[in-house]
Structure 1
Amino acid sequence: MIRAEGLHIALGGRAVLRGVDLQIEAGWTAIVGPNGAGKSTLLRALAGLLSPQQGSVHLQGREMREWTAPQRARYLAWMAQQGETSGELSVRETVELGRIAHLGLGGVPGAQCRAVVEQAMQRCECSDWSARRLNELSGGERQRVLLARALATEAPLLLLDEPTTHLDAPHQVALARLFRQLAREGRGVVSVLHDLGLALQADQLIVIEAGRVRAAGHPADPALQRALEAVFGQAIRVQPGACGRPQVHLNLENVDGD
């Protein structure tokens, strides 16, 4: 669905991405790495929001620059880590913004658009308070609304920067179930995550360190698991878990006690 070749990006004179190569297919892909590794910068580059000094991004085999803005908006949906929203908009009005790529700025939503918006709100569990204003919501509630807005685009590819921010454990689990369902529907979900336990539930894991791809593959791959432990300075251990899925544990063996 999307491919990066030799991406080099510098911000403020500092190299952030250093020759990143990767390919992402349909399914759920999680991007992980230490703070400052370049995860969010990579996601913004994949979304076409940052132009690399070197290298290129291809969507469906076409270079990003060959896509018009409306075409790109219908193919991929972007959700920022700290989404900008107006507190005066209602939940439903915010989710309806996801339909602009199909309707244009002056378009009037019809029955089909209303059905898409309603389904997006149901999937993100925010239908019950669709009339409330954003400034009346908690951080976790707003996060679910912003995700519903991304779903309402019906884009085949979703690029989500820290979608679990402010979410409690039950809603993080619900989000993982939603990502798996979207993957079964043939859509691509690329999520930057700090929660390694959640990231290990993805179909593909991309491990970033110091602006480079350290490892990429299925979370069950032992080589990828060792690379994941290494980039976090052996502060974690990845071990077999239930249902064939690995689990992550803090490595407390070398912590000095009083």
Structure 2
Amino acid sequence: MGKLDGQVAIVTGAGRGLGRSYALHLARLGARVAVCDVDLHSYAEFDAEAAAMTADSTVHEIQAAGGEALGFELDVADRDAVFAMVEDVRGTWGRVDVLVANAGGGRGRPADTTASKVPPELFDLVLKMNLYGTYHCCSAVAPIMREQRSGRIVTVASYAGKVAGVGGGYAHYGTAKAAIAHYTRNLAQELGPFGINVNCIAPGVIATARIVKLVGGSTGSNSAADDIALRRYGSPEECARVIEFLATDLSDYVTGALIPIDGGWNRSD
């Protein structure tokens, strides 16, 4: 028996990277998983990610392992598309138990995205990708979970949402992620009386194919890891185990929390 047997999970941004890891892990726990991404084959952008795939999509990886999965290609910034997806999931499986609102990301270079200089259209785009996408997903599942009087919502912030970038770069992304963390606290207060737990994770440097390509190496055995207490990058699987904690009864009395997954990156908290 899996911890999530009979339950239904939605994971956004699950075509590759951390989202794929979350979806696969929840499926291994017994959940039926709705895999959502703007491109379900986005892994093809990175050779290492493509090489790690055991099928042509996360959906088919889950199905090949004996699990149940549905695939949805959508932009979480499109509120109507998000609500339609959630209704499709409920129409197929009758319920929604877990949401991992993972979709997001940044755009632009740090030098071009400082706090006062980030172009308005880029600021708007990144807020829509991250904050608004999270808001749409949570708004879509909340009525279903209220009716069930149960549910688990996990949102995704970032280390960048707590600590300013060097020189103020990537301000739009950090702002969006900080807003997600506080939105989560408010959502937890709203939904707690209905038996719904709402928490936020804040990954640090996690060795996805994209991050490895950006910073070099997969172990952190260079200056990029010097400020990390454990002196290495995290793995997608380590993040997925935190998702397991938050999606199961292991965290029954945890809500409104912001949980760093950063190996003790140099922090002031």
- Whether TM-score is above 0.5 comes out as no
Higher alpha-carbon Rg: 1
Normalising by structure 2, report the TM-score.
0.30
Normalising by structure 1, report the TM-score.
0.30
